[in-house]
Amino acid sequence: MRYRVFFAWIIVPALVLAAGVSLDGCSKASQPYQSGRLYFSQKLFDKAAEQFEMAVREDPENGKNHFELAKTYAELDRNEEAGIEFKTAVEKDPTLSEDVRDAIQHYRADHFNSALSLMKDKAWGDAIAQLQESIYLDPDEPNQYINMGYCYSELGETDLAVSYYEKAMQLSPEDEKARTNLIATFVSQAADFREQKEYDQAIRFYRKVLELHLDDPSIDIAEASPKTLAEKTKGDDAGTGYLFDMGLTYLDKGESKNDKETLKTATDIFKAVFEVNPADDDALYNYGYATMLGGDYARAIEIFGQLLDRRPREASYYMLMATCYVKSGSTEEEAKTNIVLYFAIANSLQSDQNRLKKSDYRDSGKHESRLKDKYRSWSDMKKALDSSGTPEDIYVYTDESGHEFETWFYWTMGEAVVFNDGAEYGRVRFAPQESGMR
């Protein structure tokens, strides 16, 4: 499954500030403040910084002193200090809020837009440096954190990527870009842990994914039943996919550790997914497989039977049926017959080389002649021809003991007849298929 990941592309317009214009025409400005503004207008920013620092020391409660010092620090690329002074300016004088906001946008623009350009060139480290400068100036803008997260994700620094996406969501809980990127990062992390067979960690991340995706505070993902989660994701392909992948992780863990409790959880997840989406063959398959591993062979046989009704040409389904009969340990004659029967069909269907050309049997006279020449006793085959007609497909398979199994498929009738050295061995029934099936 691929997930769409977003850059947060926002070009910040550069605002031009007239550095030499007084904010309020104050005639009582201190001498350091006035000197600082003069040096600033002359672009002598080091000297301006000295004067504004002096003005702040003399009158630390004056927001304008902090504001001018912040702009000067920004001109000197001392952005971390500039950000602190911008914040202080508004705290000391809330009437400066709009002017501070405009100044921040002006100084932040170069860094943020430079970062976007570097990201286009995949210069992730340099982009991070520029974004950090932008964050110093305006720590409350979520798009900066989204892009930081993306850069760290590209560098393989997943933990850092997650922390920045989470910060973006804290600042803007409704931001879908942050949510989408965070989900994609968690999915990637879960998949990595699953590949490394660290199943508990993978499950933890899939829970985070579902929590973010569902965004429903009323649900405790760790405590919610598979049925509840499946119902919540019904009609939601992405959500169902995340739940399905978590089920696969439980299945992997349960199979590798022969852990019945974990296998039961996997079984419950796939059962729930299948019940809300009965057309999902993959969910049905894994429901059956987990059930088989959990030791409920009779139920697994029922489930694989449903799969055969849907896709009777799939060799693996017959193999699983045979495996269930073997593992059940039944000594009944019917069970023994079914083991051979399903194995024979599975082995026959595994290769198209086992399939006879239709020209070898579509002509009834030629077909009977073939059977008569090949088998000592072909009376059972003759009866099948008389009762059901010429088969739609024939597969021939010879086992290790040299016994030949010939399977006649009547797809539209929903039946496969297996002959062992010419004698009927058994029949398997499935849902009738559409005519013209290959």
* Within-domain flag for 379: yes
The pair of three-digit structure tokens given for residue 1, joined into one six-digit string: 């499954």
Segments of the chain with pLDDT less than 70: 1-28, 435-438
Residues 6+ apart with CB under 8 A from 107: 71, 74, 75, 79, 82, 137
Between CA 265 and CA 238 the distance in angstroms is 21
Q: How many distinct structural domains can be found in the chain?
A: 2
Number of H helices and number of E strands within the chain? 19, 4
* Within-domain flag for 350: yes
Between CA 37 and CA 26 the distance in angstroms is 13
Q: What is the pLDDT of residue 425?
A: 96
Question: Can you give the pTM of this predicted structure?
Answer: 0.75
* Within-domain flag for 96: yes
* Within-domain flag for 370: yes
Of 95, 112, 143, which closes a domain? 143
Of 88, 123, 143, which closes a domain? 143
Helices (H), 215-236: 226-232
What amino acid is encoded at 149 in this protein?
A: G
List the one residue out of 26, 81, 99 whose CA is nearest residue 59.
26
- Of the chain, the end-to-end C-alpha distance in Å amounts to 30
List the one residue out of 56, 125, 118 whose CA is nearest residue 93.
56
Q: What is the pLDDT of residue 361?
A: 85
Between CA 277 and CA 254 the distance in angstroms is 24
CB 381 within 8 A of CB 368: no
* Within-domain flag for 217: no
| Residue reference for tokens 């006035």 | 34
Burial of 244: CB neighbours in 10 Å, binned 0-12, 13-18, 19+? buried
* Within-domain flag for 1: no
* Within-domain flag for 136: yes
CATH number at residue 123: 1.25.40.10
Between CA 37 and CA 29 the distance in angstroms is 10
Between CA 291 and CA 284 the distance in angstroms is 10
Between CA 203 and CA 256 the distance in angstroms is 15
Q: What is the pLDDT of residue 145?
A: 92
Total Cβ atoms within 10 A of residue 66: 27
Of 118, 143, 168, which closes a domain? 143
Q: What is the pLDDT of residue 27?
A: 41
- Per the structure, the complete domain to which residue 337 belongs is given by 330-438
* Within-domain flag for 7: no
